[in-house]
Amino acid sequence: MSRRATTLTVASVLVLLLAIVGSAMQVPYVALMPGPTSNTLGTNDKGQPLIRIDGRQTYPDEGHLNFTTVTYRGGPGGRIDLFTALRGWLAGDTAIVPEETIFPKDESPKEVDQQNTRAMQDSQQNAEAAALHELKIPVTTRVVIDGIQKGRPADGVLKTGDEITALDGQKVTSVSQVVGATAKHKIGDSLTLTYTRGGKEQKADLKTVADPSGKRAVVGIVLSDQYKFPFKIDISIGDIGGPSAGLMFSLAILDKLTPGPLTKGKFIAGTGTITPEGEVGPIGGIQQKMIAARKAGATAFLTPADNCADAAKARPDGLRLIRADTLHGAVQAINALTAGKGDIPACK
């Protein structure tokens, strides 16, 4: 056998061994890829309106206001192999990130999924509040118990879903009011919570204990602000989690509640968290979301200001990036876009 043939044989064997090792070696990384994108003005996979409004006049819409998602492979329950990670690093539409970026070491995959589900629910509620805030439609808030800490005074007395209406006889309508009123108590003091459960008002006298820092008085309840809307808004998107669709939900609700189509038939996609006051926040996976949007047909992409720098570096051809700081600003930018005006905030 010639030296060349021997070298080729040895090299082939080494490549084969590396392939076997690479396909068997699991690595603690996650591959992020472009996920599905859905038109908030359209229907879900069951053929039902993705956003339905009852009890208020709505108007015809057209075009697209798509929210975007990211899918992933890997994680503690099914890690990717070394070759998959290497292919992802070389691929233009995939990001390979450390596993703990998606799955913190102190949380189980189930807990992460639950958090993502909760984040989506909060995002929908914030989107509804932001849209109504933009339209100057009054919205009231209520304080609801999200969780009970085991072994704390509230354990066995209060339940998840109870609505807190007063503390020490003083009406409360926000979490900050409850936290502020509780903070006025010394550790070991007693306080009285008035709450409703199943439509019935009840009271609970609880003795406060120290929080983990040992500095604040608490009773062991996790609270969230929820909103009472003057009409019903249903958002049905299926098994999708996370808070990043908030901006697009708000825009779709605004579009349905105001005369004339917001997009004028254009295909606009985007991403961004939303606060009840209409502030747009950053998200993860901006590159994958832009790719998904462009593949779906979008020509404009609403981008949170804090994501603009990264987005500008990876912008797909044919996709115009529009900076979105607030819901109000996003509406103004879309109006300028559809009118053919040039003064549109851009990502640079």
The set of catalytic residues is 244, 289
**Sheet arrangement for strand 320-324:** 95-98, 29-39, 64-74, 267-270, 300-304, 320-324
- Report helix, strand or coil for 306: helix
Q: Do 272 and 280 contact (CB within 8 A), yes or no?
A: yes
The whole-angstrom separation of Cα 111 and Cα 52 is 30
Tokens of 102: 């998606």
Measure the CA–CA gap between 306 and 311, rounded to whole angstroms: 10
In the three-class reduction of DSSP (H, G, I as helix; E, B as strand; rest coil), residue 223 is classed as: strand
DSSP three-state, residue 268: strand
DSSP, res 305: G
The bridge status of strand 273-274 relative to strand 170-171 is unpaired
